[in-house]
Amino acid sequence: MSEHQDQPFDPNLPVRVDDAGPATGPNAGPAIPQRGRGRRRLSASMIIGASLVVLVFALALLSFIWTPYDPSVIDPAARLQSSSLDHPLGTDRFGRDTLTWIMYGARITLLVGIVAVGIALLVGTPIGIIAALFAQYPWGMWIGAVIMRANDILLAFPALLLAIIFAAVFQPGTGPAMVAVGIAAIPGFARVARSGTMQVLSSEYVRAARASNRSTPAIAVVHVLPNIAGMVIVQASVAFAISVLAEAGLSFLGLGTQPPVPSWGRMLQESQQFLSTHPELALWPGLCIALAVLGFNLLGDGLRDRFDPKMEARGDG
Amino acid sequence: MPVYLLSRAAQFAVALFVASVVIFAMMSFLPGNAAQVALGTNATPEAVAALEARYGLDEPPLTRYLQWVGGMLGGDFGTSYVTGAPITPVIMNSVQVTAILVVCSIVLAVVIAVPLGTFAALEQRNWIGMTISALSQVGIAVPNFLAAIILVMIFSLGLGWFPSQGWMAPIEGVGGFLARLVLPVVSLALVQAAILTRYVRSAVLDVMREDYIRTARAKGLTRTRALFVHGLRNAAIPVITVAGVQLATLLVGAVIIEQVFVIPGIGSELVRAVANRDLVTVQGIVMVLVMLVLVINLIVDLLYPIVDPRIRSAA
Amino acid sequence: MKTPRTTIWVAAAAAAALFLSACTAGASDPKGTQKDSMAIAFTAEPVNLDFTSTSGVAIPEALMDNVYESLVRVDGEGTIQPSLAKEWDISEDRRTYTFRLQEGVKFSNGADFTAEDVKFSYDRVAKDWKNPLKSKMDLVENVKVVDDHTVEITLQRPSNMWLYNLTTLVGAIFDTEGTADLANEAIGTGPFAIEKFTRGQSIDYVARDDYWGDAPAVKKVQFKYFKDAVAASNALQSGEIDIISNLQAPELAGDFQSEEYQIISGTTNGEVVLSMNNAEGIFKDKAAREAVMHGIDRKAVLDTAWAGYGELIGSMVPPTDPYYEDLSGVWPYDPEKAKEKVREAGIEGEEFAFTVPNLPYAQAISQVVSAQLEEIGLKAKVETQEFPAVWLDKTFTKHDYDMSVINHAEPRDILTVFSKDYYTGYDDSTIKPIAEKADRGTEAEYIAGMKTIARTITEDAAANFLFLFPNLVVAKSDIEGIPVNRVSDSFRIADLSWN
């Protein structure tokens, strides 16, 4: 049995670990650049990314304490206003304040991201680690292979397909949407965790640990987890960006967040009929989605540089 | 090599089988039933029960599963409850539409991304490379339906160059077919190109650090020439992987663009079948989609040894 | 080395070719349509062509009056007019109708239309139809062929409703040899035949040159189905279609305020009803329903949710029905009184299930309604349900809801919607005898009786009648003959012409 038979995404290939990531993967990392200049540039992307992410979190948290208006109050007299002192981002067709809705929408965006990524991370990472741990023993190879094959089958059910079916089974809504996105992201985490674990297991200090008869679970906890944590966090950041986009797309299809819950994707969808008369209704949620995705992607890039396995290996050596 | 092929084919068959069981099981959880939807708001319970019996919904699950799989093996996906028509032609037509759409998009994305990504890698230290990187980040962040809506506003409603929606089969008129293809393909391709550009750039950067490029340069080749002569084949692997994954994802992912442009693709057909609770059609479409994704993954796997001799020798 | 490079070049060349040819193709495509053809956008798509077995508005909308005809039809004012029957007599006891049929009428398959076809079609309703609307023909006792062009239909009892019902799809005349594959092939006597039915996308009609009546002005018509109103609006703006038959996003009408287009806003048979479960739960109590009646500002609902298009009617009767009466003033908007009623019913702050079908108008309305109810102290728990599948199953069939909102689009459906077994759970013991008496009586008695019924239902606060769904048509300004009001279940294309 060659390595490549059961793992076409082997990290030994020029495909980098992160490239084996999930389907839509806007997760191409900048390759390791030369230290001096590269560091500076990458930390710039990290700063921008982190600021955008913090901004989204701040909006969402602030909405729990204060918003300019009550999001559910309808005011026919104030409908479809442009920006003004009263309504900095204008109002929608129900006369609701757009800024308030943007702030509340940040909550759903984060909720979807956190739950989806949470599911994928908590299920995918252990699966990947277990597959890698089994694969090192001749008797366990087939278990590792079966796990990864099951993972491949899961990969054949993309997020949208799952979401369409889930929406039919459980009613369209935020819940089924985020679970579907989460399940679809499991294979990405499993692969990252698996290839990361395999790298760790082949490193010298683990060989040393094993020589001193440490048990496999102990090795997993002591050596594997801390060493792959970085890669998993990178994957999480990227998956977060994907789930923000997915929520928007699903809401556009009417399969995501349902009214009257404020969501950016839904706002964008509802703004369509006002594109020629009130384009700002599409502008604000569109901008928010784009900035949030950009933020999480840039943050992922920045983190990847920090946690890059090759850099780390160099450090260990 | 034959062993590799055989084991890969066996895995493929097992995956198909497992997927079919999963799909069939999922369908039994769908609430609402086809008979009720067909009969509408004034149906009596007796009428619903009678129609259920006619559809065979009252048979035991195992019987229905075997009938379904048996039919598919013979190329027959069954008959729709709702339309009363055979499903196979519906699936075939809509798969063709989506395949044209998606393949054109990926090809266009590759055509845009490979030169841009390579260029961005070669020029990584100056403003051109930086601009390309930044643009690709922005491109990824824009939802594709937003891109589609904006494209329609500019090129269809504004300039009147292309129709805003619709689909025409190539045999009905090549001009009309191409005119209707452009905006959806571009909407899909822009985002995919942005993603792919970053992978190409990253792959090229990796290759450029390899020893054989250094050797080639030491022999007097320019950086670009060394890359073109020795590096592209290696850089191709991640690009193929990603393009394959993109292709697989877009088969369903295109549904959003199909809805914007009213294109009768497989995703739209799926959404419609779900709405009608046309279970046999839903099952058939999901199965075909999953099968296509598995086939694409298989092809990508088989491409590696062809592109990269190192894998061939390893296998 | 060559492989990837060649591939890339081939791909690049292909893409370039695609772009160039597409651009030129797009540029040379004729904009607009020739003057003997027309493309019309619709929302609800027919899943097949057989309304005898599949319910829903889409199939009769496409086929009635265009492909199939009945003995009688209803005009824009709601008056019954001759169609395949030239004239008819009603017997003294008002139970027997004698129809004299048009002569020289042919079906689109070439067969002659005779009294035999009438008997065949109407006997078939009871025997073979699965569409629940077939109950409209339950009254028919006997269909007798007098001669080739005379037919006598006897009812079990006199009925004012029956002749009107005959204008709907249950009156459709089929050829004795033409019902083999109704789902895919529609053979009728109408002015158009179906040239091509592309499921889920479009229906192409072609005018028949052997039609018995006036030849339609437009020879080729396409019905094109758009789930998304924005796509339909784009298609009209870029000249790919000529008419949007009913704009499902009324805010878009603003885009067509120019000389190039006409916007027609008339009435339909669709009452948008905020229905309440009268039989069970929080709204079993009349005081609770009265709170909802006083607590909702219907004008605000109409203005915000449907851009002010539509009409406030306050009852289950559209203005085109003979027994219409404006009842919009019975329950004025009065939040203070509503709060009082909430206290009276003792339901302050209580949560109830508001099931909303995932249709544009319903989702928009639900947001306004739940906000207004919150102001009077009622808490709606909004649950979006997929329409039709889930809504039909849970709300409609299982009555598992407290409040819902839906457009009841069937013509003259007041008695159906407000009956005990229907999802409204309305106690119809008062209105039932009135209805039976009215149906048997003279026309004047019928109208008076139905008016009483409509008023009783409204005064019982059985449901909140939000507004009458508008017939909002947007079309190119040089099209004539678009009916202002939609009074029947069909969309007549024979009336349309280019100016």
pLDDT of B111-153, one tens digit each?
999 889 888 888 877 888 888 988 998 999 999 899 998 999 8
Q: Report residue C1 as tokens.
A: 């080395």
The per-residue pLDDT for C300 is 93
**Listed residue (C364, C378, C355) closest to A259, CA to CA:** C364
Q: Which residue has the tokens 């076409």?
A: A8
- For every residue of C257-309, DSSP letters joined together read -STTEEEEEEEEEEEEEEEE-SSSGGGGSHHHHHHHHHH--HHHHHHHHSTT-
Does residue B302 surpass a pLDDT of 90? no
Instruction: Check: CB of residue C88 under 8 Å from CB of residue C99.
Output: yes
The set of residues, in sequence order, having a beta carbon less than 8 Å from that of C342 and lying 6+ positions away, is C288, C291, C295, C348, C376, C377, C378
Beta-bridged to residue A225, according to DSSP, are: none
Exposure b/e, A223-262, CB count within 10 A at least 16 = b: bbbebbebbbbbbbbbbbbbbbbbbbbbbbbbbbbbbbbb
User: pLDDT 10s per residue in chain C (499 long)?
Assistant: 344 444 445 555 555 555 544 444 443 344 444 578 999 999 988 888 999 988 888 999 999 999 999 999 998 788 899 999 999 999 999 999 999 999 999 999 999 999 999 999 999 999 999 888 888 999 999 999 999 999 999 999 999 899 999 999 999 999 999 998 898 899 999 999 999 998 888 999 999 999 999 999 999 999 999 988 999 999 999 899 999 999 999 989 988 999 999 999 999 999 999 999 999 999 999 999 999 999 999 999 999 999 999 999 999 999 999 999 999 999 999 999 999 999 999 998 889 999 999 898 999 999 999 999 999 999 999 998 888 888 888 898 889 999 999 999 888 889 989 988 899 999 999 999 999 999 998 889 999 999 999 999 999 999 999 999 999 999 999 999 998 998 888 899 999 999 8
Taking the C-alpha atoms of residue C39 and residue C244, their distance in angstroms, rounded to an integer, is 9
* Alpha carbon of B50: minimum distance to chain A alpha carbons (Å): 24
Which residues 247-306 of A are in CB contact (within 8 Å) with B?
A: 248-249, 252-253, 268, 272, 275-276, 282, 286, 289-291, 293-294, 297-298
* Alpha carbon of A77: minimum distance to chain C alpha carbons (Å): 9
Mean of all residue pLDDT scores within chain A: 80
Diameter over CA atoms, chain C:
95
* Alpha carbon of C258: minimum distance to chain A alpha carbons (Å): 14
The per-residue pLDDT for B244 is 87
* Alpha carbon of B29: minimum distance to chain A alpha carbons (Å): 6
- Comparing CB atoms, the residue among C229, C363, C386 nearest residue A273 is C229
Task: For chain A, give the percent of residues with pLDDT over 90.
Answer: 36
Q: Is B53 an 8 Å CB contact of chain A?
A: no
Does residue A122 surpass a pLDDT of 70? yes
Number of A to B CB contacts under 8 A, please give it.
177
Q: Does residue A27 form part of some domain?
A: no
Q: Does residue A107 form part of some domain?
A: yes
How do the residues of chain B divide into helix, strand and coil, expressed in percent and rounded to 5? 80, 0, 20
* Burial zone of B30 (CB within 10 Å; 0-12 exposed, 13-18 middle, 19+ buried): middle
| 3-state secondary structure (DSSP) of residue C397 | helix
What's phi and psi for C476, nearest 5 deg?
-65, 145
Q: Which residue has the tokens 């500002």?
A: C297
* Alpha carbon of C285: minimum distance to chain A alpha carbons (Å): 27
* Alpha carbon of A214: minimum distance to chain B alpha carbons (Å): 32
Taking the C-alpha atoms of residue C162 and residue C436, their distance in angstroms, rounded to an integer, is 13
Q: Is C1 an 8 Å CB contact of chain B?
A: yes
Which residues 307-336 of C are in CB contact (within 8 Å) with A?
A: 307
Peptide bond before residue A279 is cis, with ω within 30 degrees of 0? no
Separation in Å, CA C442 to CA B293, C93, C153, C161, C446: 68, 11, 19, 11, 6
**Closest chain C CA to residue B111:** C12
Taking the C-alpha atoms of residue A302 and residue C83, their distance in angstroms, rounded to an integer, is 75
Choose from C234, C252, C387, C395 for mutation: most chain B CBs within 10 A. Answer: C234
Structural domain boundaries enclosing A48 = 43-65+92-316
The per-residue pLDDT for B31 is 65
* Burial zone of B89 (CB within 10 Å; 0-12 exposed, 13-18 middle, 19+ buried): exposed
pLDDT tier at B168, thresholds 50, 70, 90: confident
Helix (H) or strand (E) holding C128: helix C115-128
| 3-state secondary structure (DSSP) of residue C241 | coil
Does residue A250 surpass a pLDDT of 80? yes
**Closest chain A CA to residue B21:** A153
Instruction: Check: CB of residue B182 under 8 Å from CB of residue B218.
Output: no
The set of residues, in sequence order, having a beta carbon less than 8 Å from that of B12 and lying 6+ positions away, is B294, B295, B298
**Listed residue (C221, C343, C239) closest to C285, CA to CA:** C343
Could you count the other beta carbons within 10 Å of the beta carbon of residue C96?
17
Q: Does residue A31 form part of some domain?
A: no
Q: Does residue A251 form part of some domain?
A: yes
**Closest chain A CA to residue B137:** A294
Q: Is A273 an 8 Å CB contact of chain C?
A: yes
- Comparing CB atoms, the residue among A33, A149, A164 nearest residue B15 is A149
Instruction: Check: CB of residue C446 under 8 Å from CB of residue C160.
Output: yes
Beta-bridged to residue B12, according to DSSP, are: none
Q: Which residue has the tokens 């119809």?
A: C428
Which residues 35-74 of B are in CB contact (within 8 Å) with C?
A: 36-44, 47, 51
| 3-state secondary structure (DSSP) of residue B148 | helix
Q: How far is CA C406 from the centre of its chain?
A: 12
List chain A residues with CB under 8 Å of B202.
16, 19, 28-31
A240 vs B123 pLDDT, higher one: A240
Diameter over CA atoms, chain B:
86
The per-residue pLDDT for C190 is 96
List chain B residues with CB under 8 Å of C235.
163-166, 262
Taking the C-alpha atoms of residue C268 and residue C283, their distance in angstroms, rounded to an integer, is 28
Q: Does residue A199 form part of some domain?
A: yes
Residue C40, CB-side half-sphere exposure with 13 Å CA sphere: 26
Mean of all residue pLDDT scores within chain B: 84
Choose from C21, C29, C387 for mutation: most chain B CBs within 10 A. Answer: C29
Taking the C-alpha atoms of residue C25 and residue C18, their distance in angstroms, rounded to an integer, is 10
Q: Is A167 an 8 Å CB contact of chain C?
A: yes
Could you count the other beta carbons within 10 Å of the beta carbon of residue B314?
16
Q: Does residue A198 form part of some domain?
A: yes
Answer whether B233 sits within 8 Å of C4, measured CB to CB: yes
Each residue's pLDDT tens digit, B277-299: 788 888 899 999 999 998 998 88
Taking the C-alpha atoms of residue B166 and residue B153, their distance in angstroms, rounded to an integer, is 15
Instruction: Check: CB of residue C460 under 8 Å from CB of residue C271.
Output: no
- For every residue of B223-246, DSSP letters joined together read HHHHIIIIIHHHHHHHHHHHHHHH
Angle (CA) B68 B73 B75, round 5°: 95
Taking residues A198-222, what's their average pLDDT?
A: 79
Instruction: Check: CB of residue B164 under 8 Å from CB of residue C237.
Output: yes
- Comparing CB atoms, the residue among A76, A172, A276 nearest residue C304 is A76
Neighbours of chain B (3+ CB pairs under 8 A): A, C
The domain total for chain A is 1
Neighbours of chain A (3+ CB pairs under 8 A): B, C
Taking the C-alpha atoms of residue B315 and residue C253, their distance in angstroms, rounded to an integer, is 64
Which residues 441-470 of C are in CB contact (within 8 Å) with B?
A: none
The per-residue pLDDT for C363 is 92
Which letter does DSSP use for residue A261 in this model? Answer: S
Does residue A143 surpass a pLDDT of 90? no
User: What is the CATH classification number for the domain harbouring A114?
Assistant: 1.10.3720.10
Does residue A239 surpass a pLDDT of 80? yes
Q: Does residue A81 form part of some domain?
A: no
Task: For chain B, give the percent of residues with pLDDT over 70.
Answer: 91
Taking the C-alpha atoms of residue C308 and residue C117, their distance in angstroms, rounded to an integer, is 46
Q: How many helices (H) and strands (E) does chain C have?
A: 13, 18
**Closest chain A CA to residue B311:** A4
**Strand residues in C102-218 grouped as ranges (E):** 140-147, 150-155, 192-198, 202-207
**Closest chain A CA to residue B239:** A15
Helix (H) or strand (E) holding B291: helix B279-307
Q: Does residue A74 form part of some domain?
A: no
Complex-level ipTM: 0.84
Does residue B180 surpass a pLDDT of 90? yes
Lateral strand order in the sheet of C220-225: C192-198, C202-207, C220-225, C37-42, C243-244, C463-476, C261-276, C403-408, C351-357, C379-385
Answer whether C231 sits within 8 Å of B261, measured CB to CB: yes
Which residues 187-216 of A are in CB contact (within 8 Å) with B?
A: none
Taking residues B146-171, what's their average pLDDT?
A: 89
Which residues 96-115 of C are in CB contact (within 8 Å) with B?
A: none
Q: How many helices (H) and strands (E) does chain B have?
A: 15, 0
Each residue's pLDDT tens digit, B203-248: 888 877 777 777 777 777 777 777 776 777 777 887 888 888 888 8
